Structures are given as structure tokens and as C-alpha cells.
Amino acid sequence: MSDNPHAPNKELAEAATPPTPPTIYRKDYRPPDWLVPDVALGFDLDLAETLVQADIQVTRNGDHGEPLRLEGDGLEPEEVLVDGAASNDWRLEEGALILPLSGDAHRISITTRIQPDKNTQLMGLYASNDMLCTQCEAEGFRRITFFPDRPDVLSRYTVEMRADKERFPVLLSNGNLVREEALEDGRHLAEWHDPWPKPSYLFALVAGDLVANRDSFTTMSGKEVDLAIWVRPGTGDLERTGHAMTALKNSMRWDEERYGREYDLAVFNIVAVSDFNMGAMENKGLNIFNSRYILADPDTATDADFDAIEGVVAHEYFHNWSGNRVTCRDWFQLSLKEGFTVFRDQSFSADMGSAPVKRIEDVRVLRAAQFPEDGGPLAHPIRPDSYMEISNFYTATVYNKGAEVIRMMATLAGDDGFRKATDLYFDRHDGEAATCEDFVLAMEDGAGLDLTVFRRWYEQAGTPQVTAKLDHDPQAKTATLTISQSVPDTPGQSDKQPMVLPLKTALIDRATGQHKGEQLLVLEEAEQRFTFDGFDAPPALSINRGFSAPVTLSSGQDVETLAFLARHDDDSFARYEALQQLVTERLVSEASGSEAEVIDDAMLAQVFADILADDRLEEAMRAELLTLPSESFVGEQMAVIRPDRVNQARQAMRKMLGANLAEQWQQHYVKLAPSGFAMDGAARGARRMRGLALAYLVAGEVGDAAGTAHAHFEAADNMTDRQTALASLAGMEHPLREQALDAFYTRYKDNALVLDKWFSLQALSFHPDVLEHIAALAKHPDFTLANPNRVRSLYGALAGNPSAFHHASGQGYRMLADMVIALDPKNAQTAARFIPPLGRWRRFDEGRAGLMRAELERIRNVDGLSRDTTEQVVKSLG
Ligand code: PHE
Ligand code: ZN
């Protein structure tokens, strides 16, 4: 663009570089010119060609002379009627249909014809395994029919679906089924009506040969809801829907109890589809799921998969209130529904299982996905100010940092205050398209908070950097805590203001391991001091307990203090954090060759040994504590990331811990051997800890490591054990590796979700030839760019395995870029999601940075590159 100072001579630039899509700004929001109170849609459904008849009631919104603008993407109207009479008084502009109208209310009828089986973008109406389904968020509805496809236009929908009865026996849409009829020529009809006004992004339909797991739920006011989870027949999938159904019923009850929210239709349908760009979609009364977040049994899904399913089912269900009943005014407000709903699903999962373990896992995800985003070229506030393509803003920042921002408000409000505030929010805005500001106002009014300064969390991007220093005065017997903060510059934002940081803090007596109670310190300024009385000796500082603020914090405490906290802190998160810090500082110092004082082998092994021997710990928490930080996380802490050195240092540490504590790992391994299969928390914790013990025994090359892993694999009666063992074997240069991989393939080759695991775990392995393995897997007959799960299983793993992706040859970068270039014309949304790993180039040594940039430039210069990928590449190149 012309305001880019780096753009060379304009003509030259235009000749060489494809154009950049226009930017849409939050400040430009204007209410819609026309409203659409009622919509009647008619579909003659077929895979190759579907006829869409849209009848929409439009009303002028305010006093203006603007024409009606109906967005369209790749559509041609076959007929346009205004109040029943054919009209030629329309034109197409950037795909949209512009229609001047004289009155204040009209009925517009438009016929379009679409080709679902040619729809490889998986947006709008598309085919998946001979089934028809839709995905409309954010802007997919305009690929079905012309419409004011924006979230602040709320309409009541009636949908008439007609299709061949044999091929599409099941016809579903939003709301309630009002009519079913047999038609001529073996066709049939179903009519659905959704009484709740909704934006077009929540529209959905599904047609296909499906079977259902049916159940029912009685709501708190005694209404019966018919529940159904629909899957393909004859695949074994039906038997894998039980866990999702339990999760759904638990979610419905939980939302009543914790938020007072009751379900509002007589039916709730979920459909699992194999081809899906994202995790799942909260369409009103008809959630559509990526099958990986529905299907599970112990033989095909890991314990982690079971947890993910529970969380996503809850997430989509909770959207019925936080998203559907109260929706978003515009897409800049996305975090209004997503941040809040992630917070809700996290709280639900915490209540269903172990809250401390869940908190650690949520923080792991935030640090792995959001912190790098916040520190890179794609950084944006949780409420962005601009975008080119909204699909690129379904980010860890909007979702996960958004959830942290809600969590901080909940902390500031207290349980009762938060509940009052959410009640007020739902009451005030039911049936409306609201803004983040509306949410904050409800928090202020409902909980009696002043969030003036807190609002900066919605405005400023970047992870606050916090320093906490504890000084002890032996004369005055006081401990003084000095906390300072700064928010780093991010693209388009510099000189930022301090944030409100609620920091849960305790000062722990080193002699007794006790403290006098946790305090909530609320930092609002760049630097603040807090003094505490009654300390004869310097206490240990336990700060940001429970990760109460999403910041990076350095307390500068010495190795002894951190080791003390790792053994004794009564806050599980802080305890975990102390050990993570010890390990991370050691690994960073080794990888960067610094001289910092770090923990030595003997002391680290002793801390591990003490945690292994601590019989008060739940096994899941023990495993959480003893899991080393990922290579990526360690790399992120370095001034210049050296992936090869991080890998060496981390592998050496695993080997040392495995070998030095061989006896302890062995003991746990034996002690935790199951007597039979169970799914309860204790059994799952034991499986996890036993799997970790196996990984350390393998890393430590204790005894016949390959033999132990292979025996674990052979003895496994569940996918968790099978996958753990196979992941270890996949990293070995040993004949048992191929044997186990082949056995796994043969057993599961007809189960796409399990085959995804087979691709992933090979691509994630520590094997020295991992790059060659990935290149070969990309040519495997079961690999396809047509299925997003399969693409992610291989290339997501490539991007997530630093030794492969950051191989000094640049081959990892090249493979990823080749895939993006091949996928972009087929599925832009999914292709664009693979750009951020390359966009991290500034963080690496010159050689790697140059190679990464070169790949970004190669992608940039592809003719006809999608808006999605262009935005990510242009921003990444900076
Ligand atoms: N709204 C979905 C969710 O968070 C995510 C999604 C976005 C799905 C866009 C599909 C397309 O639950
Ligand atoms: Zn969501």
C-alpha cells in the first residue's frame, strides 16, 4: 500500500507484487441500513447442485436513502423479485447485490444455484462424505444466498428442505421441526422454524444418511429437551458418541447451576462431520462438530481426547447464551462471545475434573499459542482495531487471552459479584447484538467495580512484563515487595500504559512452609510497593498464584528459593511454576551459553525425587509437575532462539533425569500398572504418570528401552497407552519402531481420526530422520489436502516439532510453504493458519530468519493468493 515506507517505486511494486486486500476498521462501524426481521429459505438439495430460494422481509433502518446491499460471494442471482414482481433494477458490486428500494418495507425473493460438491473451502454449503452441511461463521452465509451477512442483523428463520429421501433421509436445520412430507419422485420435505432471532452466521442445515444417539434432558423449569448426536451409519461411530452425550447433559446442568441459564428449544442436535475447518460451531439448536470433538471410545481416543471433547461440547453448548441469545454487534467484538465462552468451558472442565491440573493445562496452551502471537508480527488486542480477513482473527489472543481477561474480572468481582454481573449482562442484552464495552459495563454495574483502567486489556496488545522484587528488613521485620510492569511495543502500538494486574500473592515462611493467607494485590501503575509486617526472616515469594494475571513474571529468586517453592508451595500452579522456572532457566542458559547461576544436575534430580516421593500428590498433578517445558517454550525465553541447542539441552536433561532416577521411575512404572481398564480420574492420572515414567526410562536408556516401550504398546488395552508407547518408539532407530507403526496402521487404517494420530506422532518424533519421514508421509496414499484434520495432523506436527521445522537446511520451511501454496486455492482459511510459524522469523538466527523470510516471499508472490493467506504473509513480512 502507498503508506508503506518500504514499498519501492509504486509501478514496480504493482508489477511485481500481487495486490493487498483492503483493511476494515472497527472505528468505521455503522448500524445496518436495512433490517431483516424474517427469512424464509427453500432448498432443493443435491450434492452437485442445490437450488436456494430466499424470501426476505426487509425494513428500512432509520431515515436514509441507501439502497439495500446484500452480500454475496461467488453467487449469480437467477431471479430477483421485489414484492412478488420481477426486478432488473439491481447490480452486482464486489459480489454483493445492490438493490434500490422505494418504500420502507419490502419482500425480496432471490433464487441462486450453488454447487456443494465443488465447495472445497468448506464455507457455506458443502459436501462431506456424501452428506451436505453448512458452515456460516463468520461470512459463509453469503456463499449460500445474498444477504446482509453481518452479526447485527437478527432474523427469524423458516427453512424448507427438499431432497431425495433415500440419499438424504435426515434433514436438519435450526430450531424446531414443524412439518415433514413425502414428495413425488422419491423426494421428501422437512420444514424447520427457529423462533429465536439470530444473525446469519448461526444458520445451519444438514442433510444426509445419518443415525443418532438420542437422549433427553429436563431443564430446571421442567421442560423436556430431545437430544441427538448424529453420525454416519455403519462406521462404528454411533458407539463412540456416549462421552459427548454425557458431556452435553453435564454442560446443560452446569450452566443452569453456575449461570442460571436454561436451554430454550425443545430439541438440541449435534452433527459430527469429518471435513471441518475448525473445532465446532454453535449454530442455534444444531451444533456442527469436527468429528474429532465428538467420537471417542477407549480403544481409539486418548484420555486427552476425552477431555478435549468434554470441553468443546461444553463450549458450543455454552454459546447458546454467550453468543447466540446475546450475540456480537460486529466481528471486532468476537472476544465478547469467544473469550467469555472459553472462560466458561474452562470453569466447567475444572469442575468436572481436577481444577489445579486444568489450570496448569490452560496456562500451557496460553503460553504455547498466545504468548508467541502477542510477541510477533500478528499481535493484536483481544478486541482488534482492524482486519483484512476476519477468519484470521479466530486466534489464541481473542479466545484464550480473552478468557484470561474475563477471569481477571471474575477475580476482581468475587464469586457473588461476578454472578450478579453476568446475570445483569444476560438480562440487559438478551436478544441483542452487543459489544465488549457492554460486557464491561455490566461487570461494573453488576459487581460494583470501576474498570476504567482495566479496559486497557481490550485496547493494548502484548504480554505485560512484570518484575517482582522482595526485600527483607531484619530490623523492622518487614518484607517489601516492589512490582513493576511494562507492556512491550507491538505492530502499530507503542508507548503503552500500565495494565490492571490482579496478582494473588503469599509470603511463605521457609522454616514452616506456611503463610498467613493469600492476598490479592492489584497493580495499576508502572511500579508499586507493598509492605508486609511480622517477618523475622526473609520469606519465599509465591506470586501470580493460580496464574491470576496473564503476564510473564520474573521474581529473580535464587535456585534455593525456587526449589523450596517447587517442593512446598500450597498453590499448585505456583509450585508447578517454580519448577518450570528452575528447568527453563537451566535450559536457556545451556542453549545460549550464558553464565547465569542455575540449578545443577544433583539438585534438580533431588527436587524430582522429592516430588516422586510426595505421597500427598495426585498422580495427574505429579505428572504435570514433572513434565519438562516444551522446546518451543524454552526457545521463546531466549533472545535469539537456537532450536538445535534447545533440543540438545532438553534431551540431555531428560536423559539425565531418566538415568539418575531410574529406580524411582521404575517403581512408579510398576506400582501404577493397572489391574484393568477404568476411566475415573485416578485411573487416568495413573495412566498419565505411568506414561511419563516410561518416557523418562526411555530417555534415560534404562535397560532395554525399546523393549519396554514395545511391551507397553503390546499390552495396551486403550489408546492412551498405545499412543504413549508408539510416540516413544517413533523416535528410536530400532526395528521395533517400524513393527509397531505397521501394526498400528494395519489396525486403524479405516479410522481417519486414529490415522491422524499415526501421521502426527511420526512427524512429532525425536527421530534423527524425522524430516525424511515427513516428506514420505506427505506422499503417503492416505495423505490428502482435502481433509483439514489430515493436513493438520502432518503439517501442524511439522510446525510443532522444532527439530524438524527449524532444521538448518530450511527443508522444514520449504515443505510447509509448498503445502500452503498447494492448499491455498482449495481451502484458504486452513492454508492461512500455517503462516504464523513462518512469521516468527525475527526471533531466530540470521540463517534461519533468511530462509523463513524467503519462503514467506515465495508465498507472497503466488498469483491469485487468497485474502486470508495474503493478510498473514504481508503482516508477517512487516
Ligand atoms: N465459533 C466457533 C467456536 O468457537 C469457531 C468457529 C469459527 C467455527 C469459525 C467455524 C468457523 O466455537
Ligand atoms: Zn466459540
pLDDT in tens, 191-223: 999 999 999 999 999 999 999 999 999 999 999
What's the gap between Cα 39 and its chain centre?
Answer: 32
Model confidence at 3, pLDDT cuts 50, 70, 90, reads: very low
Residue closest by Cα to atom 9 of ligand 1: 137
Q: Which ligand is nearest to the CA of 278?
A: 1
| Alpha carbon nearest to ligand 1 atom 2, residue | 281
Question: pLDDT exceeding 70 applies to what percent of the chain?
Answer: 98
Tell me, yes or no, whether 581 lies in a domain.
no
* Alpha carbons 119 and 138: distance in angstroms, whole number: 16
Q: Taking residues 35-59, report their average pLDDT.
A: 98
Check residue 5 and give its pLDDT: 47
The string of DSSP codes covering 60-101 is: E-SS--PPEEEB-SS---SEEEETTEE----EEETTEEEE--
**In a domain? residue 564:** no
d(CA 425, CA 417): 12
86 and 235 in a single domain? The answer is: yes
Residues 424 and 478 in one domain: no
Secondary structure element (H or E) that encloses residue 552, with its range: strand 552-554
pLDDT in the model for residue 591: 98
Place of cell 448500524: 31
Q: Are residues 455 and 508 in the same domain?
A: no
Q: Which ligand 1 atom is nearest residue 323's CA?
A: 1
| Position 77 in a domain | yes
Say if the ipTM goes beyond 0.85.
Answer: yes
* Mutational pocket test of ligand 1: of 394, 397, 827, 868, the residue with most ligand atoms within 8 Å of the beta carbon: 394
Position in ligand 1 atom list of the atom nearest CA 277:
10
Pocket lining for ligand 1, CB < 6 angstroms: 135, 137, 278, 280-282, 315-316, 338, 394
Q: What is the pLDDT of residues 546-588, one digit of tens each?
A: 999 999 999 999 999 999 999 999 999 999 999 999 999 999 9
Judgement on whether residues 190 and 257 belong to the same structural domain of the protein? yes
Q: What is the DSSP string of 614-672?
A: -TTS-HHHHHHHHSPPPHHHHHHTSSSB-HHHHHHHHHHHHHHHHHHTHHHHHHHHHHT
Nearest CA to ligand 1 atom 11: 137
By DSSP bridging, strand 552-554 and strand 465-473 are: parallel
Q: Which residues contact 88 (CB under 8 A, 6 or more apart)?
A: 80
Same domain, 391 and 431: yes
Give the tens place of pLDDT for each residue, 290-308: 999 999 999 999 999 999 9
To which H or E segment does residue 326 belong? none
Both 411 and 514 in a single domain?
no
The contacts of residue 709 (CB under 8 Å, 6+ apart) are: 694, 698, 725, 728, 729, 732, 736
Of ligand 1's listed atoms, the one at least distance from the Cα of 394 is 7
Smallest-distance ligand from the CA of 340: 2
For the stretch 789-843, pLDDT in tens is 999 999 999 999 999 999 999 999 999 999 999 999 999 999 999 999 999 999 9
Same domain, 445 and 475: no
Asked, for residue 716, whether it belongs to a domain, the answer is: no
Would you place residue 9 in the very low, low, confident or very high pLDDT band (cuts 50, 70, 90)?
low
* pLDDT tens string 639-686: 999 999 999 999 999 999 999 999 999 999 999 999 999 999 999 999
Residue count (the chain) = 878
702-713: average pLDDT: 97
Domain range for 351 is 326-459
Q: At residue 11, does pLDDT exceed 80?
A: no
CB 220 within 8 A of CB 262: yes
Query: Which is nearest to 247 in space by CA: 227, 266, 233?
Result: 227
Q: Which of 123, 281, 315, 789 to mutate to test the pocket of ligand 1 (most atoms within 8 A of CB)?
A: 281
508 and 440 co-located in one domain: no
Query: Which ligand places an atom closest to the C-alpha of 201?
Result: 1
Please report, for residues 252, 333, 344, 347, 423, the alpha-carbon distance to residue 350 in angstroms, rounded to integers and kept in the order given: 16, 26, 10, 5, 21
Ligand 1, pocket-test mutation among 282, 346, 830, most atoms within 8 A of CB: 282
Classify residue 846: in a domain, yes or no: no
**Which domain-ending residue is among 232, 262, 289?**
289
Over residues 59-95, the pLDDT tens digits come to 999 999 999 999 999 999 999 999 999 999 999 999 9
What atom in ligand 1 is closest to the CA of residue 140?
11
Contact 352, 310 (CB under 8 A): yes
Residue 443 and residue 507 share a domain:
no
Please give the Cα distance from 648 to 634 (Å, whole number): 12
Percent share of the chain, pLDDT over 90: 98
Q: Which residue, by CA, sits nearest to atom 3 of ligand 1?
A: 281
- Cβ count near 449 (within 10 Å): 18
Match 481420526 to its residue by C-alpha cell.
753
Distance CA 572, CA 357 (A): 8
Which three cell numbers mark 461? 496488545
Element containing residue 16 per DSSP (H, E): helix 10-16
C-alpha of residue 346 to centroid of ligand 1, in Å: 17
Please report which ligand is nearest the Cα atom of 283: 1
Cα 568 to ligand 1 centroid, rounded to whole Å: 41
Amino acid at 55: D
Among 459, 477, 509, which residue terminates a domain?
459
CATH number, domain containing residue 373: 1.10.390.10
Taking the centre of ligand 1 as the mean of its atom positions, its distance from the CA of residue 328, in whole angstroms, is 13
Q: Same structural domain for residues 225 and 356?
A: no
Q: Ligand 2 centre from 767 Cα, in Å?
A: 36
Ligand 2 mean position to 734 CA, how many Å? 43
Phi and psi for 144 in degrees, rounded to 5?
-100, -50
Does 496 reside within a domain? Answer: yes
**Assign residue 84 a region: left if phi > 0, alpha if psi is -120 to 50, beta otherwise?**
left
Residues 6+ apart with CB under 8 A from 725: 694, 709, 710, 712, 713, 716, 740
Residue 609 falls inside a structural domain: no
Of the candidates 678, 668, 558, which has an alpha carbon nearest to the alpha carbon of residue 622? 668
Known catalytic residue: 663?
no
Distance CA 363, CA 522 (A): 20
What's 285's domain CATH number? Answer: 2.60.40.1730
Instruction: Specify whether 270 is located in the same domain as 367.
Output: no
Query: Which of 525, 519, 555, 520 is closest to 538 using CA atoms?
Result: 555
Furthest C-alpha separation in the chain: 95
- Residue 17's pLDDT band, with cuts at 50, 70 and 90, is confident
What residues sit around ligand 2, an ion, with C-beta below 5 angstroms? Answer: 338, 341
Q: How does DSSP classify residue 673? A: -
Work out how many domains the chain is built from and give that number: 3
Q: What is the distance in A from the centroid of ligand 1 to the CA of 396?
A: 12
The answer to whether the beta carbons of residues 580 and 634 sit under 8 Å apart is: no
The single residue of 137, 316, 590, 624 carrying the catalytic annotation is 316
CATH number at residue 470: 2.60.40.1840
State the average pLDDT for the chain: 97
Same domain? For 449 and 345 the reply is yes
Among 556, 587, 613, residue at a domain's last position: 556
Q: Name the phi and psi angles at 721, rounded to 5.
A: -65, -40
Determine, yes or no, domain membership for 864: no
Report helix, strand or coil for 156.
strand
